[in-house]
């Protein structure tokens, strides 16, 4: 699990590098796209963290310029926040439950007559 600032940074990188190819970006471009005011040290630390975790491939970083590309896990990353609403983890179990319930209900109706 990554912290909120790193998630914001990864979202900004997704917008700057949508194709997944290598792109040279500056720390100012990343901060502008992220809508945050990270220092160069914070940006470098978070990019190194994303590189270690396998979300991006950081080819080089020099003087606030970064050459990076998104890896498949970075492209597919979505926030770890739980979405509200009803969902079923095991669809087959849910279908079986509904069929059994419907059969029991119809059996009770038939026996009641």
> What pLDDT score was predicted for residue 87?
56
CA distance 36 to 1: 20
pLDDT at 100 over 90: yes
Tokens of 30: 């990343």
pLDDT at 6 over 90: no
pLDDT at 9 over 80: yes
> What pLDDT score was predicted for residue 89?
62
Q: Give me the percent of the chain exceeding a pLDDT of 70.
A: 87
Burial (Cβ within 10 Å: 0-12, 13-18, ≥19) of residue 46: buried
The model's pTM is: 0.65
- The tens digit of pLDDT for each residue in 76-92 reads 877 655 444 555 567 78
The pLDDT of 61-81, averaged and rounded, is 81
Task: Select the more confidently predicted residue: 79 or 49.
Answer: 49
- CA distances from residue 99 to 43, 56, 84, 102, 112 in whole angstroms, order as listed: 54, 46, 26, 5, 20
């Amino acid at each position: 699990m990554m912290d909120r600032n790193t998630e914001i940074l990864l979202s900004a990188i997704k917008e700057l590098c949508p194709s997944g190819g290598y792109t040279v970006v500056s720390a100012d471009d990343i901060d502008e796209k992220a809508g945050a005011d990270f220092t160069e040290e914070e940006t470098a630390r978070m990019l190194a963290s994303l590189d270690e975790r396998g979300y991006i491939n950081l080819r080089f970083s020099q003087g606030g310029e970064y050459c990076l590309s998104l890896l498949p896990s970075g492209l597919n990353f979505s926030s770890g926040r739980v979405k509200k609403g009803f969902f079923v983890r095991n669809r087959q179990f849910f279908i079986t439950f509904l069929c059994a319930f419907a059969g029991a209900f119809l059996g009770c109706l038939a026996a009641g007559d």
